Amino acid sequence: MKKNYFIFLMIAVMASFSSCEEDDNSITPGGNGNNGNDNYSLSVQGEVKPITIQSGGNWYAETDDKWLQLSYMGGTGGETVDIIAAYNTSPEPRTGEIRIYTDISSKAFKSDTSSIEPSQTIKIEQPGNDNAEKPACFTEFYFENGKIHCTLFGGNNGGTIDSPSESDFLHYQPTGGTVLATSVGANKYKDIIPYINVEGKEELRGFFTVDGIRTSNTLVIRQGDTFRLYNDLKNEGSADMHFVVGNKIYYGGGLVYSNPWGGTGGHSESTKDFKCYDTETGEETDLPDLPAVGVGFGWNGKIFSFANRSLSVLNGNEWTYVGNIDRYAIGVQVKGNDLYVLSDEYVDVYSLSEEGDYINIEHQKSMPANISRYSDYTTDEKGNLWVFDSDNKKIGWIEESGLQTVSIPSEISDVYFAGADNGYAYIVSDKAMYKISKDGTSEMLKLIVTKDFEGERENINGTIYCFGGVKRNSYTQNDYASKEFKSFTPSMYVPVSLSIVPEE
Domains and CATH numbers, the chain: 5-226+496-502 (2.60.40.10), 227-488 (2.120.10)
pLDDT of residue 476: 81
How many whole angstroms separate alpha carbon 385 and alpha carbon 461? 15
SS (H, E, C) 47-93: EEEEEECCCCCCEEEEECCCCEEECCCEECCCCEEEEEECCCCCCCC
- Torsion sign (Cα): 323, 389, 250, 3: positive
Residue 79: partners with Cβ closer than 8 Å, 6 or more residues away: 52, 53, 72
pLDDT of residue 284: 97
pLDDT of residue 504: 60
pLDDT of residue 211: 95
How many whole angstroms separate alpha carbon 339 and alpha carbon 383? 12
107 in helix, strand or coil? helix
Strands 267-278 and 248-259, how do they pair?
antiparallel
Mean pLDDT by 10 residues, the chain (504 residues): 37 33 35 53 92 81 91 80 94 94 57 68 94 95 87 96 91 70 93 78 86 95 78 95 98 92 72 97 97 96 94 95 92 97 96 92 95 96 96 95 94 90 92 90 80 81 94 84 92 84 78
Under 8 Å between Cβ of 488 and 464? yes
Where helices occur in 244-403 by DSSP H, the ranges are none
SS (H, E, C) 255-271: EEEEECCCCCCCEEEEE
